[in-house]
A and B are shown apart, each in its own frame.
Chain A
Amino acid sequence: MNSPSDCLDRLYSLKMAKGGSNRKVANGLLAAGAAAVMAVYAAGYERTQSAAEQLEAQSAVRRPVARSAAVAAAPSTPVVEPREQRETPREVAVLAHPSEPAPVITAPASTPAKTDITPAAPVAPPAGPTTPEPVIPAPAPAPAAIVAAPTPAPAAPASQAAAPAAAVYKDGTYKGWGTCRHGDIEAQVVIEGGRIASASISQCLTRYSCDVIGRLPPQVTQRQSAEVDYVTGATESANAFYYAVLGALGKAK
């Protein structure tokens, strides 16, 4: 897979070779500029990992849709109550066209904008999402049967979900960000003696209150993992919290 850096290095070699017409070099400068922008954008900066980048990272670490009752990887652990069949999480970066009706919650008073946000005359929304970049892979379809093999989710092995796992973390306090269509959530996780001592929502920047996922943080401690429940009517926020905890735990390794 070519990174923007690789493309840039190849363009450098192209320039040095200097064979061929000027047009090759000319287009090279435009392409070099575009590649440089993407490299900077992809790198992000501190917490401001851009939403698009985070969403892409989140879809690469997809939450397992069905939890196996026969947790083949950890035979000694008690059987997890099988999760209800649920819709696949929709981690789609289509910010301008909501694809599901918004929950009935009073929207907070809008803060004064630095700019004009000008509603256009109502336009029929296009049939599908406008193509955001980078392209988010479509979520995997929900398997109808319970899968015995562990699902390929690198950061959440099936064994970890079953019960307090023996995962060892480094002591300290760690934070991570998760994002969803409604905004960003920062989770804070405290590790003591190598285990999760507590988890909390340290910043709730979603447009809906985080009270709706209030019962999730204690589950992180109970389950010693990010595998908190889904919350009906708050799927997005719950997912954002999940990924925020994942991010925090990732730093504690």
Chain B
Amino acid sequence: MGTLVTIEIVIPGETGDAPAHHALDRAFGWFREIENRCTRFDPSSELMQLAARPGEAVVASPMLFEAIRFALLVAEETGGAFDPTAGHLMMARGFDREHRSGATIHLGIQPAPDATWRDIKLDPHRRTITLGRPLIPDLGAVAKGLAIDTAAQELKPFGNFAIDAGGDLYMAGANRLDEPWTVGIRHPRRQDELLESLRISDQAVCTSGDYERRGADGRSHILDPRTGNVADSVASATVIAPVAMLADALATAAFVLGPVEGIRLLDRMGVAGIIVTPDLARYETGTLPHAA
């Protein structure tokens, strides 16, 4: 993931903060553990060990299994606009650097160029994952969302807290002023402007934007897995949902689908969202929690 994670817990003034510190340790622990298992930038991660054994039914940890299972559900639901097997496409375009350390990774895996999410088979009873063809899953969106969600479970007893994982958020309860958290959505083109301000309580907010990491060719990194081309009809897609893993995956899918199909997807999923095109046209679901 390579993201900076910040957590704020709001506790009443007379309460000791030791339990909060313990909960924070455990919450950060979830981020570390999920990253260790699900990263494709470390050949010894559980994910990459799976990728090294195409054709075999590999027993997976609950963490990896549920992440991939959910990713496949979203892939099916979005017709492949979201596809966790697009990793090799990203690598071909130069996204083979772990962006914290800058280290390049070389793998002994030759991914099949036309592999898709349909090439992954799961057995829930034995909890095995089988990669039908050599491929490199990319769990970036799903893993980060899952980490946010499990960290949020650790903090649930506190009621009021905020998790910020590199811009993907989960806000619970109320802020220190006892009001719903205010969340701004970054403007995709004007750095010191906000696109929108939202009031958020017990929801995740995740944004996919074309202003994030750029590849070696200077273009944004979000590809349409169905074509392999850059998805360029959207500048920024934001999703608000009770589960961060869902918000993260749908933000990516909506970005690829474009403004009209994207909003249609979010409506169908029962979540709120806003999509902005490169020429700054805005598309919203009817349910956006605008700040007053």
Binding site for B on A (CB under 8 A): 5, 8-9, 12, 15, 22-23, 25-27, 29-30, 32-34, 36-41, 43, 45, 48, 50-52, 93-98, 102, 107, 110-111, 113-123, 125, 130, 132-133, 181-184, 205, 207
Contact = CB atoms under 8 A, between A and B. Distances in A.
A133 B202 CA distance: 14
B121 to A, nearest CB: 13
Interface string B63-89: 100110110011011000000000000
Interface string B144-164: 001001100110111110000
Interface residues of B, number: 57
B242 A43 contact: no
Contacts of A15: 73, 76
Q: Which of A5, A23, A38, A181 has the most chain B CB atoms inside 10 A of its CB?
A: A5
Nearest to A206: B18
A118 B24 CA distance: 13
Interface of B: 6-24, 26, 28-30, 33, 61-63, 66-67, 69-70, 73-74, 76-77, 124, 146, 149-150, 153-154, 156-160, 176, 178, 241-243, 245-246, 268-271
B157 A30 contact: no
A214 B245 CA distance: 45
B66 A39 contact: yes
A40 B146 contact: yes
A135 B198 CA distance: 31
B6 A96 contact: no
A26 B13 CA distance: 42
Q: Which 7 A-B pairs have the closest CB atoms?
A: A95-B19, A43-B62, A207-B18, A36-B66, A33-B243, A119-B13, A33-B246
A29 B74 contact: yes
Contacts of A36: 66-67, 69-70, 146, 245
B61 to A, nearest CB: 7
A40 B154 contact: no
Q: Which of A38, A94, A96, A97 has the most chain B CB atoms inside 10 A of its CB?
A: A96
Given A115-B24, A184-B22, A93 B157 contact: yes
A51 B23 contact: yes
B11 A117 contact: yes
Contact of A130 (B70, B77, B159): B159
B33 A132 contact: no
B66 A40 contact: yes
16 contacts: A27-B270, A30-B243, A33-B246, A36-B146, A37-B66, A45-B30, A48-B33, A50-B26, A95-B157, A98-B16, A114-B6, A118-B9, A119-B12, A121-B13, A121-B176, A123-B12
A148 to B, nearest CB: 39
B241 A30 contact: yes
Contact of B9 (A45, A94, A117): A117
